[in-house]
Chains A and B, each alone.
Chain A
């Protein structure tokens, strides 16, 4: 079974703190993604990576950065957390379209910024 693991289920941080969300996948997938999920807005793509050290902005990258130093690990960084970044964050991994292109998701991290 594909396993995507997010390091925390719940996080509470203060405004202005630097926040790291970690995601690890065990299926040697090339692509990894970070989404945020908000009521009524569905899932919105923040960043994705198609290879080690490669990254592309998604629909809402402002206020976020990412790091992919190893194939299995993709980190989302909030440089200076703000209250409008309170949300559910979902990590996913997949192989390219020619190889099924199914995204597999972690359990999510619910972040509260106070």
Chain B
């Protein structure tokens, strides 16, 4: 069965600090997709990144970077030089190669960036 674990329930950092959000997943499939979403206080989940299981290259997008390691089943998310606007709940999710119904979310990590 698939499972996504985000061990950090809440994290607080001071603005300009770097912060890493951990995500560990379990799946028996060899083909799968990993995602990160951001949920700001407004409530809408915003898509950040999608990564398929065959692409282990790390990705950087501005202040955001993602580290995918199949050997440890982890897909960690780092925010460099955090800003107050980064305060949100962040969800990691896993989808196996089917019609998308097996889209499992982790419990989320609440990030608070203090000024």
Contacts and interface: CB of A to CB of B under 8 A. Distances in A.
Interface residues on B, range: 20 to 34
B63 interface: no
B47 A102 contact: yes
A101 B95 contact: yes
A103 interface: yes
B50 A101 contact: yes
Contacts, number: 62
Nearest to A47: B101
Q: Is the interface of B mostly helix, strand, loop or mixed?
A: loop
A58 B100 CA distance: 11
B42 A102 contact: no
Interface residues of A, number: 29
Contacts of B9: 40
Interface string B74-102: 00000000000000000101010111110
Contact of B42 (A31, A43, A94, A107): A107
Interface in A68-114: 88, 90, 92, 94, 96-97, 100-108, 110
22 contacts: A9-B43, A31-B101, A33-B103, A40-B9, A42-B91, A42-B105, A42-B107, A45-B103, A48-B100, A50-B101, A88-B43, A94-B100, A97-B97, A97-B98, A97-B100, A101-B100, A102-B50, A103-B47, A103-B100, A103-B103, A105-B46, A107-B44
